[in-house]
Amino acid sequence: MNAPAQRAGTLLIDAGNTRVKFGWRNDDATSAQAVPRTSLQVAFRHEEVPEALLPWLDEAGLRPRAALGSNVAGDDSERTIASLLARNGCAVDWIRAGRRLLGVTNGYRHPERLGADRWLSLVGIWNRWRRQAAPGAAAPVHVLAHFGTATTVDTLDGSGRFVGGLILPGRDLMRQSLAAGTAGLPRANGQVAPFPDNTGDAIMSGVAAAQAGAVARQWLAARERFRQEPLLVASGGAWSAIAGEVAHLMRAAGSTRQVLVVDNPVLDGLACLAESGLAPSS
């Protein structure tokens, strides 16, 4: 079998709490896309990265000339990935939150303390809207809900300013806490139901209600503050399990917008940064 043709570009890295997601931007990618990133993506658990990353790059014919990354998994993850890529002569720039980036302003009390994943996700969804909007269109308020190991619900106003957000345990952490902290409750695998009649369904329905309630709380707060209906953006692996409950609460709250589901806004933000040509420290 012939080896795939080598493609030069930028490796995009989202090192989360459980997995590391990798994306790719070709050097010849066009800015006409809604988000300047190819569809090529892969995810590995942290323990799989040392054995899996370089073979994946080889098999896909990818030759990274640079890498941009977000990391919330600790220093060991950064060192492992950087060491692997150094074998191919590729350095990694790990992006931290700052005051401003690509049209987004960070309103956190201490901007540098905002997680890189939340920061880059906001950059990603804001620039996605800017690329797709009609000339002169007024920007909506965005409420971004990410359902991963942790659930975060963050708000951007119509000028691209991050005004604050929530962090709460994700779906699986909620389930685990009940199993670990009680004598009689299992780690449930039930179904979400309006009136659960068994323990498994009761736990799963309670978790889904808590997750959806956090989203509805922020959506309503944003609508009240900015006097407009926010655009709800959802991402993360647990979204599909929460989507029905969120939709129910949004309808009850009077929402008329469709939820915009985005696969990985962190990689989108990194791709926008790679395309911009800005130095990572910018």
Annotated active-site positions, please? 117
Are β-strands 150-156 and 142-147 bridged in parallel, bridged antiparallel, or unpaired? antiparallel
108: left (phi over 0), alpha (psi -120 to 50) or beta: beta
C-alpha span between 196 and 61 (Å, rounded): 50
**Bridging pattern class, strands 62-71 and 92-94:** parallel
Dihedral sign computed on CA atoms, order 110, 263, 217, 228: positive
Residue ranges with strand state E in the chain: 7-15, 19-26, 41-45, 62-71, 92-94, 100-101, 104-106, 142-147, 150-156, 161-169, 231-235, 260-261
Cα dihedral 104, 109, 113, 117 sign: negative
Amino acid at 234: A
CA–CA dist 28, 38 (Å, integer): 11
| 45 residue type, one letter | R
Contact call for residues 212 and 246 (beta carbons, < 8 A) = yes
Detail the DSSP E strand segments found in 120-223: 142-147, 150-156, 161-169
CA dist 280 and 93 (Å) reads 7
